[in-house]
Copies of this chain bind each other. A is one copy, B any other.
Amino acid sequence: MTQAPDLQAKKQPRQARAKATVEALLDTAARLLASEGYAAVTTNRVAELAGVSIGSLYEYFPNKEALVAAALARALREIVAEVTLGLREALARPDQPRGGIDHWMRAMVAALEQREALLRAALREVPFLWSISEVRELSNTLQQVAQEGRYKSSRLVHFEDPEASTYLLMSMVWSAILQAVLYRPPHLSRERLIHTLVEMVLKLL
């Protein structure tokens, strides 16, 4: 398998001007990846579109991979934050458990749909995706969030193997939503997806 590249940031921007440069580079990299795919993300092009010279790019990122990794890590952190917030809101609702689960599902769908193109390109084309720490830790993070939901809600999962069940249930729901958002199966609208998933989860709890 391909060797994991160096993803460490090279240098920290100190002045405000430099911070803006780095932000512009990250934005442009993400935009380009989402709209034209990984092959279109060339360092020269990113620098040009960001209104920055290629030399400046290499002041803050050791190589191309580190740039893309930073852009993806930022997007992933946003997603995790939104899903976590969604769970908190879900637990606060009076119409448990259906209302809570429904709300949480919608939060996940929204978080993924907002970044649909970026996620598609990342998952399908970025070779070093799994050497980005935020990506590797995602499933653990999600599992922790799910466990928290299980503890705090009044309902409990009744399985012989609650740990594996929670992990699998979360993993399955997440995969199904991701799949549906990215692949858009023609006969499965967003509403139908959410409703069916809610029913299935309720049946399992």
Verify if A129 is at the interface (C-beta below 8 Å from B). yes
Question: A104-123: contact bitstring with B at CB < 8 Å (1 yes, 0 no)?
Answer: 00000000000001000101
A127: chain B residues within 8 A (beta carbon)? 37-39, 124-125
Question: How many residues does chain A have at the interface if contact means C-beta atoms less than 8 Å apart?
Answer: 47
A165: chain B residues within 8 A (beta carbon)? 196, 199-200
Distance A172 CA – B177 CA, assembled complex (angstroms): 9
Chain B residue at minimum C-beta to C-beta distance from A203:
B204
What is the predominant secondary structure among interface residues of chain A facing chain B? helix
Question: A158-193: contact bitstring with B at CB < 8 Å (1 yes, 0 no)?
Answer: 011101110111011101100110010101100011
A164 adjacent to B196 (CB under 8 Å): yes
Known A130-B124, A200-B204, A204-B204; contact A175-B179, beta-carbon cutoff 8 A: yes
B172 adjacent to A193 (CB under 8 Å): no
Distance A179 CA – B129 CA, assembled complex (angstroms): 15
Verify if A16 is at the interface (C-beta below 8 Å from B). no
Verify if A40 is at the interface (C-beta below 8 Å from B). yes
Known A36-B1, A130-B124; contact A139-B185, beta-carbon cutoff 8 A: yes
20 contacts between A and B (CB under 8 A): A1-B35, A2-B36, A37-B127, A124-B127, A139-B183, A139-B185, A159-B196, A161-B195, A161-B196, A163-B187, A164-B193, A164-B196, A167-B185, A167-B188, A168-B196, A168-B197, A168-B200, A175-B176, A175-B179, A200-B204
Interface residues of A (CB under 8 A from B): 1-2, 35-40, 117, 121, 123-127, 129-130, 139, 159-161, 163-165, 167-169, 171-173, 175-176, 179-180, 183, 185, 187-188, 192-193, 195-197, 199-200, 203-204
